[in-house]
Amino acid sequence: MEEKCLVANLCGGCDYQGIRYNAQIKLKEEKIKELFSKYVDVSPILGDDFYNHYRNKVQVSFGKDRNGDILAGNYAKNSHFLVPIDSCQICDERAIEIINSVKRLIKKYHISIYDERIKKGCMRHLLIRTSTLNEIMLVLVTGSPFINKEKEFIHDILKYNPSVTTIIHNINREHTSMILGNSNKVLYGKGYIVDELMGLKFKISASSFYQINHNQTVKLYSKAIEYADLKGNERLIDAFCGTGTIGLLMSKYAKEVIGVEINSAAIKDANKNKEINNIKNINFICEDAGKYMQKLAHDKEKIDAVVMDPPRSGSSKEFLKSVAILKPNKVVYISCNPDTLLRDVQYLMKNDYKLIKIQPVDMFPYTSHVESIALLCNN
Ligand SMILES: C[S@@+](CC[C@H](N)C(=O)[O-])C[C@H]1O[C@@H](n2cnc3c(N)ncnc32)[C@H](O)[C@@H]1O
């Protein structure tokens, strides 16, 4: 048995707590085999050699106990019951230290805590992103526009946590489960962090998607590059491209890359990433991927390969229909949800594609989530 986190049953973060790591990854591999082995041999899962403290993005909500001490943690599944944490087996340890320090400073400066039930108060969430270049972003999410003694508070955060390189104030007055609101004000530093991944540098903003497990991302993206097997003369679409990571890494193997993504902040980062890495043969489009592919299909554009990495809900019908019309030779499909991956793969198989390979990758140790990457070729 692995040592079990003290709040494992309450927190809702890690549903594979208490299971030996080798058994965890076996369960995940089995899940992919159950769904896909009738079509193709499933490759052995790529496990995480480190599997603790891998999360480079940590977010907590705030509460208060009877003594007025500040609590930080996650809400128990489907509830508004805060499960406080002082340590975490999967989060970057630097982030946990910062959270504990910020809690003490919130108390010191009498900053109110946002109350979900009455929708009033200030401090709501804290989001921390860390990078391999030792840059650390803090996003203070508040339910009101002002932070009591803001200047002194920020001064002390930096004094006690000198590793923090940027601080952003995000205001979220919406009554939703989304962590971030739309308004961002940079209180310290440049407002973003930079990470280094497979020889390139990537700018990451507060709201942009970026893979949360760095070591496993290297394995995932390397497999995507291997599956795409580009020869240098291809026109490649990187759909659902986020900050452009996959397309930028693949650009040196292709003639031209087009990245398409709906989040404008991520596209802004993607363009910056193109610039800082001095890459010329890639362009980024801010649009719904399905609509963009429809236009390409309408204009009878020639596309040689598609790499796609949609959210958990998978791809839209519009997108898949356009792939079936454009008929790129290869589709490399990265997915964090095996059920929607299966649905979309089956659609493509009904439309002249053959599933050639599938590779599970463990991006999220201690949770039941499993990432996989599939290669489909046009028959
Ligand atoms: C799983 S992330 C992948 C990001 C990127 N490929 C990476 O590895 O960092 C999915 C991305 O799809 C974007 N997205 C969601 N719906 C979309 C849509 N309809 N059209 C285009 N992009 C979308 C999200 O904003 C997010 O950046």
DSSP class per residue in 295-342: HHHHTT----EEEE---TT---HHHHHHHHHH--SEEEEEES-HHHHH
The token duo for 3 is: 């040592």
Q: Where are the domains of the chain?
A: 14-51+213-378, 57-197
Confidence of residue 5 (pLDDT cuts 50, 70, 90): confident
What CATH architecture is 57-197?
Answer: Beta Barrel (2.40)
**123 bridge partner residues:** 113, 142
Ligand 1 centroid, distance to 355 Cα (angstroms): 23
Summarize pLDDT for 185-228 with one digit per residue, the tens: 999 999 999 999 999 999 999 998 999 999 999 999 999 999 99
Pocket residue to mutate for ligand 1, from 203, 225, 240, 322, most atoms within 8 A of Cβ: 240
DSSP 250: H
Locate the ligand 1 atom nearest the alpha carbon of residue 310 and give its number.
10
CATH 3.40.50.150 given to domain 14-51+213-378: yes
Ligand 1 centroid, distance to 311 Cα (angstroms): 6
Locate the ligand 1 atom nearest the alpha carbon of residue 238 and give its number.
6
The torsion angle over the Cα atoms of residues 255, 259, 260 and 262, rounded to 10 degrees, is: -170
Summarize pLDDT for 97-142 with one digit per residue, the tens: 999 999 999 999 999 999 988 989 999 999 999 999 999 999 999 9
Pocket residue to mutate for ligand 1, from 262, 269, 318, most atoms within 8 A of Cβ: 262
Confidence of residue 81 (pLDDT cuts 50, 70, 90): confident
Yes or no: say if 122 and 148 are a contact pair by the CB < 8 Å rule: yes
Residue 186, phi then psi, degrees to nearest 5? -80, 120
Ligand 1 cavity residues, CB under 6 Å: 209-211, 240-242, 245-246, 260-263, 266, 288-289, 309-311
Q: Whose CA is nearest to atom 26 of ligand 1?
A: 242
Catalytic annotation, pick one of 5, 88, 241, 336: 336
Question: Which parts of 77-135 fold into alpha helices (H)?
Answer: 93-108
Locate the ligand 1 atom nearest the alpha carbon of residue 288 and give its number.
20
Neighbour-count burial of 359, counting CB atoms closer than 10 A to its CB (0-12 exposed, 13-18 middle, 19+ buried):
buried
pLDDT exceeds cutoff 90 at 79? no
Confidence of residue 379 (pLDDT cuts 50, 70, 90): confident
Locate the ligand 1 atom nearest the alpha carbon of residue 209 and give its number.
27
The stretch 252-272 carries a mean pLDDT of 96
Residue 355, phi then psi, degrees to nearest 5? -80, 120
pLDDT exceeds cutoff 80 at 336? yes
Q: Is 336 a catalytic residue?
A: yes
pTM here is 0.95
Q: Whose CA is nearest to atom 18 of ligand 1?
A: 288
Q: Whose CA is nearest to atom 19 of ligand 1?
A: 288
